[in-house]
Structure 1
Amino acid sequence: MLSVVDVSVTYPNGVAALKATNATFARGQFIVLLGKSGAGKSTLLRSLNGLVRPTRGDVRNEAHGSIFASGATLRAHRRRTGMIFQQHHLIGRLTALENVLTGRLASHGFLRSLAPLPRADRIMALEALDRVGLADRALDRADELSGGQQQRVGIARAMAQRPEIVLADEPVASLDPATAVKVLEDLHRICREDGITAIVSLHQVELARQFGDRIFGLARGQIVFEDGPEAVGGIALDQIYQTHPAELAVAAE
């Protein structure tokens, strides 16, 4: 279980990106943070891994309490938390396999990570690629892959960590609709099979309904909705998007 307690984030330029937020994310669920750009989704997501440090409040997990209790506690939390980014963050000149292997580095000390990683790590990386259907592209450079394939390598890299939690920040925002569904199907299936808690930010309403066990709607830096996907209807969308019906129809596409 992961929770935020009275978390707020104000950036140095004075922008209040997140306002006094409380939420609990249940173990093993596929949770969607839904909202338009600037709603606070990315700030909340990155606070859950300490990439953005709250101005006030705390992030807590059941293993260590506050993730900010010490440097060692934060590192331990990050080791058990995989990250998937919108723009992949792959190293283009490296192969898909080499990119996935970077997900194993945190499991080794600094000096050990300078040498080639053990065979067991390479097997884990290959297995992770196989689970997203890319074992046959393991030795291809990342920059030779399509956008959807690169994002699936990003999923494999996160899974190579053997995480308990996965945080995905708009992982399909740059993909066409069919590819977006395929990427989310892979992520959803793997998280289900491994009992991983997934917290995924999206702006596509239909994808949130299709994949989310629980949906948190954000608007203007606050959680304004929390319920199951079946409850994401007109009133809920008006709360989340705070906009006109025509714009809601576009968001739902």
Structure 2
Amino acid sequence: MLSLRNVTVTYPNGVVALRPTTAVFERGKFIVLLGTSGAGKSTLLRSLNGLVRPTSGEVCVEGRGSIFSSRAHLRAHRRRTGMVFQQHHLIGRLSALDNVLTGRLAAHSVLRSILPLPRADRLLALEALDRVGLADRALDRADQLSGGQQQRVGIARAMAQKPEIVLADEPVASLDPATSVKVLEDLHRICREDGITAIVSLHQVDLARQFADHIIGLAQGRIAFEGAPDQLGSATLDHIYATERKALAKAA
């Protein structure tokens, strides 16, 4: 179980991205973060794997304490945490397989990772590609794949880490609706099968309702809603998206 305990984040330029926030992310659940751009979703996600260090408060793992208690503890936590990015972050000139294999680098020492990775790692990477339906594209360059296929390679790379937790930051923001559903279906299915805790930020309320076990709505750096998808009503959505709707109305 992963938790935030009264976490705040203020960036060096003075922007308060996350106000005092306490939340618990239950093991094996598919949790969706909803909110406008600038609501704090990405900051919250990046706090959970230590890419952003909280200004105050703690990020804790059950039985292990704060992830920031030592450098070794933070490195171990990151090895157990896969990340899926909005813009894929693949190396275009490398094959899909080689991109997935980068997810295995943290399992080896720096010196060992310079050498070709073991056959067991290659088999694991191929299995990860097969689970997202791309085993037949394993040797294709990443930049020859469609946007949806690239994102599925990104999911396979995260799964090659054998993670306990997967964080996905707007993983379908640049995809069409049908492809978005396919990508989230793959992510949801694999996390279910492997008992992985998934924390996914989305803009699309319909997708949140379709896939989430639990939804956390953020507004202006605070939790504005927390509960099951069927508890997410129109009044709550108005509150979560009030800032965005005001901006759109002003622009019109």
TM-score range, shorter chain: over 0.9
What's the secondary structure of 1:68's corresponding residue?
coil
What's the secondary structure of 2:7's corresponding residue?
strand
Matches for 1:186-197 after TM superposition, within 5 Å: 186-197=186-197
Which residue is 1:67 aligned to?
67
CA deviation profile, 1:204-236 (whole Å, cap 9, x unmatched)? 000000000000000000011000000112011
Residue type at the aligned position of 2:57? G
Which residue is 2:211 aligned to?
211
- Whether contact under 8 Å (2:36, 2:244) holds in the other structure is no
Matches for 1:211-250 after TM superposition, within 5 Å: 211-242=211-242
Matches for 1:79-90 after TM superposition, within 5 Å: 79-90=79-90
Residue type at the aligned position of 1:229? P
Cα pair distance change 1:63/1:143, threshold 3 Å: farther
Residue type at the aligned position of 2:205? V
RMSD: 1.4
Cα pair distance change 1:142/1:206, threshold 3 Å: same
Which residue is 2:9 aligned to?
9
TM-score, normalised via structure 2 length? 0.96
Following the alignment from structure 1 to structure 2, what is the Cα–Cα distance between the partners of residues 56 and 31? 24
Quote the offset at 1:245 in angstroms: 7.7
Alignment partner of 1:149 is 2:153: no
- Whether contact under 8 Å (2:8, 2:55) holds in the other structure is yes
Q: Which runs of structure 1 show a deviation greater than 4 angstroms over 4 or more consecutive aligned residues? A: 243-248
- Whether contact under 8 Å (2:152, 2:183) holds in the other structure is yes
Quote the offset at 1:63 in angstroms: 3.8
Residue type at the aligned position of 2:218? L
What's the secondary structure of 1:171's corresponding residue?
coil
Quote the offset at 1:242 in angstroms: 1.8
Following the alignment from structure 1 to structure 2, what is the Cα–Cα distance between the partners of residues 203 and 71? 33
Following the alignment from structure 2 to structure 1, what is the Cα–Cα distance between the partners of residues 244 and 145? 39
Which residue is 1:49 aligned to?
49
Following the alignment from structure 1 to structure 2, what is the Cα–Cα distance between the partners of residues 148 and 188? 15
Which residue is 2:117 aligned to?
117
Quote the offset at 1:239 in angstroms: 2.1
Following the alignment from structure 2 to structure 1, what is the Cα–Cα distance between the partners of residues 219 and 158? 28
% identity of equivalent residues? 78
Return 5+ residue gaps in structure 2 as ranges.
none
Cα pair distance change 1:125/1:63, threshold 3 Å: farther
Following the alignment from structure 2 to structure 1, what is the Cα–Cα distance between the partners of residues 213 and 54? 26
Residue type at the aligned position of 1:160? A
Matches for 1:27-42 after TM superposition, within 5 Å: 27-42=27-42
CA deviation profile, 1:129-148 (whole Å, cap 9, x unmatched)? 00000000000000000000
- Whether contact under 8 Å (2:40, 2:220) holds in the other structure is yes
CA deviation profile, 1:66-105 (whole Å, cap 9, x unmatched)? 0000000000000000000000000000000000000000
TM-score, normalised via structure 1 length? 0.96
CA deviation profile, 1:32-91 (whole Å, cap 9, x unmatched)? 000111100000000000000001111000142000000000000000000000000000
Matches for 1:155-166 after TM superposition, within 5 Å: 155-166=155-166
Cα pair distance change 1:147/1:103, threshold 3 Å: same
Quote the offset at 1:109 in angstroms: 0.6
Following the alignment from structure 2 to structure 1, what is the Cα–Cα distance between the partners of residues 243 and 115? 54
- Whether contact under 8 Å (2:132, 2:152) holds in the other structure is yes
